[in-house]
């Protein structure tokens, strides 16, 4: 029996998969999507920071840092998507991030075991291992499909992507815990906010691009 949470992740991933295809091959849709996601991410982060910090200067500094990061992230994503080879790499990285999320949930839910950290009680060592395995398998298969190339460096890249995704997920789980929030927002019914869906991608994609460009 598939749990409701897993169904949500699967449906979100399927929708994201088709959205990825659209945004990578249609520049207008890509630009619009990045702007919308970026704006909502900034709004949600601002709300979180206001609930954590009292000092307004701390809030301003933190938000300036986050806005700068989001701007650079969106610019990097749009810029690299204009190159065919890097576009295929970017597509592979996104699939790897999705696989890391779903793989970690499936394995962690079934095998359970010791908790990974107190920050997020649902995260387990088995789930972390599942994320690494699923991410490695999908990235290796996708890169081989597009480039007819495979080496063990790709597996290392996949592991780095998965670790970065998990760190991003844990970081925002920590912030939500501090802010006493269950979700970062409610823009996505049944799923929470934008940051609830893309928290891992914000670290996973830059790490993946950097590592694959250097290694391939």
Q: Among residues 198, 158, 202, which one has the least CA distance to residue 69?
A: 202
pLDDT digits (tens, 9 = 90+) for 26-65: 778 888 888 998 999 999 999 999 999 878 888 899 999 9
Q: Are 117 and 123 in contact (CB under 8 A)?
A: yes
Helix (H) or strand (E) holding 32, with range, is helix 27-52
pTM of the model: 0.86
Distance CA 57, CA 100 (A): 36
pLDDT digits (tens, 9 = 90+) for 64-119: 999 999 999 988 888 887 777 778 888 889 889 989 988 888 888 888 878 877 77
Domain boundaries, the chain: 4-215
Distance CA 197, CA 9 (A): 9
What is the distance between the terminal CA atoms of the chain, rounded to a whole angstrom? 41
Q: Are 187 and 194 in contact (CB under 8 A)?
A: yes
């Amino acid at each position: 029996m598939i749990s409701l949470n897993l169904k949500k992740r699967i449906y979100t991933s399927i929708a994201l998969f088709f959205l990825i295809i659209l945004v990578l091959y249609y520049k207008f849709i890509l630009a619009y999507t990045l702007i919308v996601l970026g704006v909502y991410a900034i709004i949600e982060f601002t709300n979180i920071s206001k609930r954590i910090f009292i000092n307004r200067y701390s809030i301003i500094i933190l938000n300036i840092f986050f806005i700068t990061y989001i701007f650079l992230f969106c610019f990097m994503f749009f810029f690299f998507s204009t190159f065919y080879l890097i576009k295929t790499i970017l597509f592979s990285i996104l699939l790897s991030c999705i696989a890391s999320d779903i793989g970690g949930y499936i394995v962690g839910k079934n095998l359970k075991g010791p908790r990974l950290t107190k920050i997020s009680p649902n995260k387990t060592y088995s789930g972390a291992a599942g994320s690494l395995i699923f991410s490695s398998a999908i990235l290796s298969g996708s890169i081989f499909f597009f480039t007819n190339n495979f080496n063990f460096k790709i597996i290392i890249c996949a592991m780095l992507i998965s670790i970065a995704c998990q760190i991003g997920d844990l970081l925002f789980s920590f912030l939500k815990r501090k802010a006493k929030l269950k979700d970062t927002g409610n823009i996505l019914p049944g799923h929470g906010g934008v940051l609830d869906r893309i928290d891992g991608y914000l670290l996973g994609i830059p790490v993946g691009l950097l590592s694959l460009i250097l290694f391939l």
